[in-house]
Structure 1
């Protein structure tokens, strides 16, 4: 091997190493260096705040089990026997599973809402299973209101008596490599929001009247996603007063006779261009 070749390889390796370090540095700067490892609902609620990562070290955590009532960034609403936790007014927050354990966030027995988020900027949920408790009343597993820059990465949302996600007045919501499984009342409900991206995410075995409701939504894209085994009585998509809704690449399987979009032609299906 010549000196020039060896020098070039060393230079390339150095650039790769530098880019990895730079990426890690930017990520740490974005979420802050503080890491809170939690195993109980009390610890989880106490850890909520800005510029931090909350790492779940338990297999199952139910936020509504927390007895805490006073927290500057967590409000509580009463639904039946449950107190529902809503995280509010924080920035740069990541909630993730332990690297050695795919943790689950679960609702309490009375209602299917696991967590709500209001006026949150820069939020990432990573590697989490999010489920409703057995027998929980219908609702949304997650709700987002007035939030900006939301990312679900590598998560799995499953709700036998619920919808997966409700999004209201949000901008830049993204779900990547995330599964939406077995939801009974549709999958996603969006209103008055813009810039949504679902990438390499799967919608499997869901049911209800409509799968994806996008009302007054501008610019939503589904790239390399999969629709399979769903049964929606009205349509997969319902997109009134919405624009720039695109399905790019991926895979679509639906039962014979099932309507793809309630508004004919409102969702543009495109083949993905070769890289």
Structure 2
């Protein structure tokens, strides 16, 4: 967190503690849970509401993006949406990752025939047929990505998308847009026009510290509307040091990433550290 606060001027919305594995479809918050994760998402919900009040703006549409493909943006989006749903808010999750379909895959609808790509392509005109309940809470609905298109960036520029989101804003308290990593492809920047707030996910142990100036540049140049930072997968103690796993976001159409929320276990990291240390001592 100190690295972020020292290098990025964007508001810090909150942090999410490390969680091994995940619940069904990545949903880990519980309605009456007093565990650290459930409490962290409640704090995030409160901070987001306070941010809306203090700014004097009506925050309804929220874009989720990151630098790295494994930052856990879909994990944060789904659990924050669930936290709001449990508080009585009507929430719609929209999978705007038309390339990888991370949200749709997590919820078991990676190739839905009535997804948003079919609507934007004109093969589906009935909006109601796209909206499906998540199956986790009556207040939480989803619009899946649909069939993978050959031209995702061009599709996201469509006026039909603007009209759809405007209609959904009138029907739901919150509309969550799960997009691609902002430094991978242009999709997140393109869809930012639809958002009142952008939550930028940074994952501890994954982000290369040398990318922090890039995040600051996005904020300073206002490439993302009302950008704020959420630090994901924080630990009470630091188990390592260095620059994380490096870059790895230079790819185009058909890129391979997923928010499966997995990482090397603590024991493996410690074992790797001592092996490296022993190798250096031997040399």
TM-score, normalised to structure 1, is: 0.26
Which structure has greater strand proportion? 1
Higher relative CO (Cα under 8 Å, sequence separation at least 6) belongs to 2
- Structure ID, larger Rg: 1
Which structure has greater helix proportion? 2
